[in-house]
Amino acid sequence: MTNSISNKLDTALAGLKKSKKTGLMTHLVLGYPSRERAIRLAAELEEGGATILELQIPFSDPIADGPTIMKACDVSLKSGTTVHTALEDIAAISRAATIPVVVMSYYNPIFAFGAEAFCQKIAAMGVTGLIVPDLPPEEEANEGFLAACNRHSLHAIRVVSPASTYQRLRLNADIASGFVYTTSRFGVTGAKADLDPRLIGYLDRLRTIFRVPIAVGFGISKPEHVRAIHGHADVVIVGSAIIDFLHPSGDNSTNRNIPAFIHSLLSR
């Protein structure tokens, strides 16, 4: 399947390829630790050097997320975040951002909103792509999600893992758009001390299957992780480590220097 979408995300990825740099996609949960703080956090992540902003709509049963992001989703939902308030915040962040914005959501909120209406709405805000980890390609005939994304020039970003069979990887490669999001290991999100020693070989294998750039997440939390992945993936994804830095040991302070932390991840 050839995708003709071209937007700000493609420009950023092409820039990374030309400069031979590893990009950084930073993840935040909308409404966490508060609506206002999440919007400011997006600006701080860009200031620190993020290449792409990933904005997660909180969900009550985030099956691919570890304890840190699950807790952030729970706090956000209990504080009153809804799909509609999340969309308002996405619009505010997108207006202010100069880097590409992608939205991550489980499919249930999109289904309830209506896939066509949801894609149309976020595309009008300037969002460049959608990450939906729990919608397999086989559901396209019923849902029309990929077609809706394509109609509104949104990249429908596929999610794969080391557990994916060759056949599943090929199936996703055939419909991949923008970049492919791969986990660095089996399991759920969360910062880890060390990367899986099998990761580099797995990433190099993905290069032979996917034509789009590769972004790798789950467990990326240190500059040495980014350095180890350089040349084997185009983008690293950091989420849980940002929350852990923002609230060390459960500290409720929100005044820590996020731009400096993000900048440190990219240091060589």
Q: Which residues are catalytic?
A: 54, 65
The alpha carbon of 166 is separated from its chain's Cα centroid by a whole number of angstroms, namely 23
The number of residues making up the chain comes to 268
Backbone angles phi, psi at 231, to 5 degrees: 90, -15
DSSP per-residue string spanning 59-122: -S--TT--HHHHHHHHHHHHTT--HHHHHHHHHHHHHH-SS-EEEE--HHHHHHH-HHHHHHHH
d(Cα 96, Cα 100) in Å, to the nearest integer?
Answer: 11
SS3 sequence of 16-51 = HHHHCCCEEEEEEECCCCCHHHHHHHHHHHHHHCCC
Closest CA to 182 of 164, 196, 170, 166: 164
Is there a contact between 168 and 160 (Cβ–Cβ < 8 Å)? yes
Query: If DSSP codes are grouped into helix, strand and coil, which group holds residue 195?
Result: coil
Hey, what are 27's tokens? 């993840």
C-alpha distance from residue 121 to each of 24, 92, 142 (Å): 26, 13, 21
Query: If DSSP codes are grouped into helix, strand and coil, which group holds residue 266?
Result: coil
